[in-house]
């Protein structure tokens, strides 16, 4: 149950319990005083007292000192309980908690419907760029960050983003983000210690999940590999390579930047797809793939080779586990994945 919702549930539950217990208390004391009443009358007495209606004395309280004292005590307890419940519920409405509660429920429903999605842990710095790329290429993803201001910033940029506020290294938060059904996780936290712990925690919850992690200290790289990280990225190394590339191949860098930064809905990307074993295209040619999907492969990698075949022969026949590299829009990539998966 949501912790914000508990703030109004507990006072209401307290009042309900108080009504039940005080009804039985008054019933028992009245019977002990020799009064012929029913439990329903005792409940009615409690109801008209706690609601401040007070029609009449249903159990003859005025004729008994004990019942009078007990009823006075109960009245003060009722006042405190009702005031507490009303104040919590008012705060719940005024502070927008009710709206937040329904938003969280809607968020959880969206997460439950997601399958084979990506989980980005850490939306600051690197994480925001990962989110932008997954959004541009129409891939489902969830962002986790414990800083609400960071999440607010990403919501402004990507209004329909699925964002979970919480500690990404917490098992409960990862489970809330659907890690059991996710296909990949990006560990983009600021410190190597946090990312390493996150990799271990993610693998413990889903051993089959693919993990890409950021690392800062080269001496920690082997630890990430041993923990189960499939891909590792060093911001320092990438930055150095970028500077060198700007000097020695500026046109190529400009070409890739233009491709990645394009905001058009049909922006092109270099993509890849591994032909599944049950594909109906096994035995057919790359030319057939191009005719039916509009996608032209620029490279192919056979499962029994470590080398890539650049500009492959259009008559090359597809086999299971062949990896195709191609340039396509997100929509064409989706078409290719659907056709080659049948």
179 and 185 Cβ atoms separated by less than 8 Å: yes
Residues 205-254 pLDDT 10s? 999 999 999 998 989 999 999 999 999 988 888 888 888 988 898 888 88
What architecture does CATH give domain 114-233? 3-Layer(aba) Sandwich (3.40)
Beta pairing, strands 323-328 & 141-145: unpaired
Q: Note the pLDDT tens digit of each residue in 206-217.
A: 999 999 999 989
**pLDDT value, residue 224:** 94
Q: In whole angstroms, give the CA distance from residue 147 to residue 168.
A: 11
- Give me the pLDDT at residue 256, please: 79
> Does an H or E element contain 305, and which?
none
Q: In this structure, is the dihedral angle defined by the CA atoms of residues 321, 324, 329 and 331, taken in order, positive or negative?
A: negative
Q: What is the pLDDT of residue 222?
A: 92
pLDDT of 84 reads 79
CATH 3.40.50.720 range(s) for the chain read 114-233
Domain with CATH 3.30.70.1450 in the chain: 268-340
**Class of CATH domain 268-340:** alpha beta
pLDDT-based confidence at 85, cuts 50/70/90?
A: confident
pLDDT of residue 96: 55
pTM: 0.64
The residue to which tokens 């009358």 are assigned: 41
pLDDT above 80 (res 11): no
State residue 184's pLDDT score.
95
pLDDT greater than 70 at residue 204: yes
pLDDT at 80: 83
The sign of the CA dihedral 272, 274, 280, 286 is positive
Average pLDDT in the chain: 86
Q: What percent of the chain has pLDDT over 90?
A: 44
Model confidence at 22, pLDDT cuts 50, 70, 90, reads confident
Instruction: Quote the DSSP letter at residue 317.
Output: B
- The CATH code belonging to domain 3-97 is 1.10.287
- Domain limits, CATH 1.10.287, in the chain: 3-97
Provide the terminal-to-terminal Cα distance of the chain, rounded to the nearest Å: 41
Q: Are 286 and 312 in contact (CB under 8 A)?
A: yes
Residue 339 pLDDT > 80, yes or no? yes
Considering only CA atoms, which of 272, 320, 333 is closest in space to residue 299?
A: 272
What would the pLDDT profile of 121-167 be if each residue is shown by its tens digit?
998 888 999 999 899 888 999 999 999 899 999 999 898 899 999 99
Mean pLDDT of 292-315: 91
285-298 average pLDDT score: 92
**Mean pLDDT on 169-179:** 93
Q: What is the pLDDT of residue 203?
A: 95
List, in order, residues 6 or more apart from 273 with CB less than 8 Å away: 323, 324, 326, 333, 336, 337, 340
- Looking from the CA of 165 toward its CB, the CA atoms found within 13 Å total 13
Distances (CA, A) of 231 to 198, 201, 315: 14, 16, 33
Helix ranges, 206-300 (H) = 221-227, 235-248, 250-261, 286-293
């Amino acid at each position: 149950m949501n912790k914000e919702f508990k703030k109004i549930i507990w006072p209401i539950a307290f009042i309900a319990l108080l009504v039940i217990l005080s009804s039985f208390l008054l019933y028992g004391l009245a019977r002990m005083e020799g009064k012929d009443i029913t439990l329903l009358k005792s409940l009615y007495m409690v109801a008209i007292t706690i609601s401040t209606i007070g029609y009449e004395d249903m159990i003859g309280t005025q004729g008994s000192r004990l019942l009078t004292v007990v009823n006075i005590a109960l009245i003060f307890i009722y006042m405190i309980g009702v005031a507490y419940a009303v104040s919590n519920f008012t705060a719940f409405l005024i502070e927008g908690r009710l709206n937040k509660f329904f938003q969280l429920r809607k968020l959880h429903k969206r997460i439950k419907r997601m399958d084979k999605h990506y989980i980005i842990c850490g939306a600051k710095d690197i994480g925001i760029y990962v989110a932008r790329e997954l959004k541009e290429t129409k891939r489902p993803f969830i962002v986790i960050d414990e800083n609400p201001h960071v999440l607010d910033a990403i919501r402004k940029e990507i209004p329909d983003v699925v964002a979970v506020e919480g500690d990404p290294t917490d098992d409960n938060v990862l489970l809330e983000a659907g890690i059991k059904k996710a296909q990949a996780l990006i560990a983009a936290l600021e410190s190597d210690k946090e990312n390493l712990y996150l990799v271990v925690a993610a693998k413990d919850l889903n051993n089959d999940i693919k993990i890409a992690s950021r690392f800062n200290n080269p001496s920690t790289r082997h630890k990430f590999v041993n923990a189960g990280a499939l891909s590792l990225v060093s911001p320092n190394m990438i930055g150095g390579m970028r500077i060198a590339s700007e000097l020695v191949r500026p046109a190529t860098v400009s070409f890739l930047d233009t491709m990645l930064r394009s905001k058009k809905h049909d922006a092109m990307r270099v993509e890849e797809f591994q032909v599944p074993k049950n594909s109906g295209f096994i035995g057919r040619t790359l030319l057939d793939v191009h005719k039916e999907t509009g996608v032209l492969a620029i490279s192919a990698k056979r499962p029994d080779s470590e080398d890539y075949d650049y500009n492959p022969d259009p008559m090359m026949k597809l086999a299971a586990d062949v990896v195709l590299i191609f340039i396509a829009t997100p929509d064409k990539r989706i078409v290719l994945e659907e056709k080659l998966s049948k």
